[in-house]
Amino acid sequence: MQTSFSWESERRYYTVGELTEAIRGALAGEFTDIWVAGEISGSKTAPSGHVYFTLKDQDAQIRCACFARTLRFLRFKPQDGIEVLARGRVDVYAARGEYQLLIDSLEPRGHGALQFAFEQLKKKLAGEGLFEAARKRPLPLYPRRIGIVTSPSGAAIQDMLKILTSRFPGLHIRLYPALVQGEGSAAQLCRGIEYFSESGWPEVVIVGRGGGSVEDLWTFNEESVARAIAACRVPVISAVGHETDFTISDFVADLRAPTPSAAAEMVVGSRVQLVERLEALDRRMKQSVLYRISIARRKLHQLSVDRASATLHRVIGKHLQRVDSLDARMREAMRAAVTSGRQQFERLEQRLAQMDMRLRLAEGKRRLESVATRLEQSIRWRLAAQRRKLEPLDAQLAQLSPLRVLERGYAIVQTPQGAVIKDAGEVSEGAPLDVRLARGKLRVEVESASE
């Protein structure tokens, strides 16, 4: 009996799909979140929005894929010849049997990612004509309704409100509160700009924030914010950071202000400027009327027509009457404006006088001098009372003083150590003694002692 033997029953084999899947599992388990440095080459964008390119160095290369959902969140787009750090995971594309790197994020090497993204977006929007001076709209001369999109807790809004209300009281101002940095800030800024654009309420919109680092100001470099500014139906002023800071919003806006405070100064003129402008217009109007009258008079004399002269005089009289009426109304308006400004100035002056520290210091000084005077009088009175109590005691003490006894011829005998001698038996012959008199002291030596 013969037994058949099959080598195939002992072999372990894979299909191509099984092997590819096993390789994919091994790579995915080992290389799930890695950084790879290299140069981008052969970058192509598919109709689906995905970007495919090769990452290479002098020794090797690897294919990379960046899907559209990831591409939206990159701060710059893949471009040939750029040295980058790519973060992602290794996967296998089974259809071609190739391993590839699926990109999660990209960072340029050699210079900052933010600056690279800034220049890339600036070039893109400039190519679309969003920076053209022809599309910039002039600001209204004296806007009454102003919209502001910024953080309600920042110093920028306080500075703008202070300047706006001081330069031109009575303005209508609406604030759309929005984050100016961090996650979600770009979306909030866009909603604020769109709100003012769709409502049509403001005559001008200010978008901005105070100074900060490049990262802090980056929200104003987002493409969505730039396009929202460009699409706004009313003029927009970009007031971001300090005078040396530039953002994409500055290039797209109708006007760039170096600081939020400067934006407030640009958007409205002062009351004094308005009065001066009215006076200048009044002078120009009078000059124009006088000039027209002079021309008409010259023509009248040239024609020598009485009827025309009479008609002209009537017309001139009506115009002069209208000029006088307008002049009276203008002067009344100017006086009212000046009176209102003076009243406001006086109120502020009174408030300032109440807050003047010199008055408070003078009042405190007067109170201090009064207290010092009363304290000095109290001390003198108490010293005098104590002196009156001390004088009889001093007299009694003087009467009881041993010195009065010494004045009557008595003396105090002491040893050199200061002990008072009361008994002759306390000393021996030859011992030195001190004798205290009413005036002075004697050193004596005992020759003899007896009871």
| Tokens standing for residue 352 | 């300032």
126 and 263 fall within a common domain: yes
What is the value of pTM for the model shown? Answer: 0.45
Q: Which of 217, 248, 269 is where one domain is finished?
A: 269
30 and 164 fall within a common domain: no
28 and 54 fall within a common domain: yes
Query: Is residue 390 in some structural domain?
Result: no
Residue closest to 255 by CA, chosen among 147, 360, 137 = 137
Sequence length of the chain is: 451
Contacts of 436 (CB under 8 A, 6+ apart): 406, 411, 412, 413, 414
Looking up residue 261, the CATH number of its domain turns out to be 3.40.50.10550
417 and 317 fall within a common domain: no
Residue closest to 268 by CA, chosen among 173, 151, 394, 175 = 173
Write down the residue that tokens 């004509």 correspond to.
129
CA pair distance 81, 54, nearest whole angstrom: 11
Query: Is residue 174 in some structural domain?
Result: yes
Query: Is residue 277 in some structural domain?
Result: yes
241 and 292 fall within a common domain: no
| Tokens standing for residue 155 | 């110093």
pLDDT at 5: 47
| Tokens standing for residue 302 | 């040239």
pLDDT at 393: 81
pLDDT at 51: 92
284 and 319 fall within a common domain: yes
CA pair distance 230, 227, nearest whole angstrom: 5
Number of domain units in the chain: 4
User: What is the domain extent for residue 417?
Assistant: 407-445
pLDDT at 338: 85
Write down the residue that tokens 């003899």 correspond to.
448
CA pair distance 273, 262, nearest whole angstrom: 17
pLDDT at 10: 63
179 and 61 fall within a common domain: no
Contacts of 269 (CB under 8 A, 6+ apart): 141, 142, 167, 168, 277
Q: Which of 269, 296, 313 is where one domain is finished?
A: 269
Query: Is residue 188 in some structural domain?
Result: yes
pLDDT at 340: 86
208 and 302 fall within a common domain: no
252 and 128 fall within a common domain: yes
Residues 90/31, Cβ–Cβ less than 8 Å? yes
Query: Is residue 294 in some structural domain?
Result: yes
CA pair distance 405, 306, nearest whole angstrom: 140
106 and 31 fall within a common domain: yes
CA pair distance 321, 259, nearest whole angstrom: 48
Q: Which of 352, 385, 418 is where one domain is finished?
A: 352
Q: In what order do the strands lie in the sheet with 172-177?
A: 172-177, 145-150, 204-209, 236-240, 255-257
What residues does 53 pair with on adjacent strands?
A: 64
Q: How confident is the model over 3-27, as pLDDT tens digits?
A: 444 545 566 777 877 777 777 777 7
| Tokens standing for residue 39 | 């140069």
Query: Is residue 248 in some structural domain?
Result: yes
CA pair distance 293, 307, nearest whole angstrom: 17
Query: Is residue 357 in some structural domain?
Result: no
CB neighbourhood size of 405 (10 A)? 13
pLDDT at 238: 93
Write down the residue that tokens 């970009």 correspond to.
238
Looking up residue 55, the CATH number of its domain turns out to be 2.40.50.140
Query: Is residue 344 in some structural domain?
Result: yes
Per-residue pLDDT of the chain (451 residues; tens, 9 = 90+): 444 445 455 667 778 777 777 777 777 777 888 889 888 888 898 888 889 999 988 889 999 999 988 887 777 788 887 788 888 988 888 888 888 989 988 877 754 566 777 888 888 889 999 889 899 999 887 888 999 999 999 889 999 999 888 888 888 999 999 999 988 999 999 999 999 999 989 999 999 998 887 778 888 988 899 999 999 999 999 999 887 778 999 999 999 998 999 888 888 765 566 677 788 888 888 888 888 888 877 777 666 656 666 676 777 777 777 787 888 888 888 888 888 888 888 888 787 776 667 777 888 888 888 888 888 898 889 888 888 888 888 777 777 777 777 777 788 888 888 888 878 778 888 888 888 887 888 888 888 877 7
Exposure letters 370-386 (e unless 16+ CB within 10 A, then b) = eeeeeeeeeeeeeeeee
Write down the residue that tokens 């919109």 correspond to.
205
147 and 244 fall within a common domain: yes
| Tokens standing for residue 199 | 């409502």
Q: What is the DSSP string of 68-104?
A: HHHHTT-SS---TT-EEEEEEEEEEETTTTEEEEEEE
Contacts of 430 (CB under 8 A, 6+ apart): 445, 446, 447
288 and 338 fall within a common domain: yes
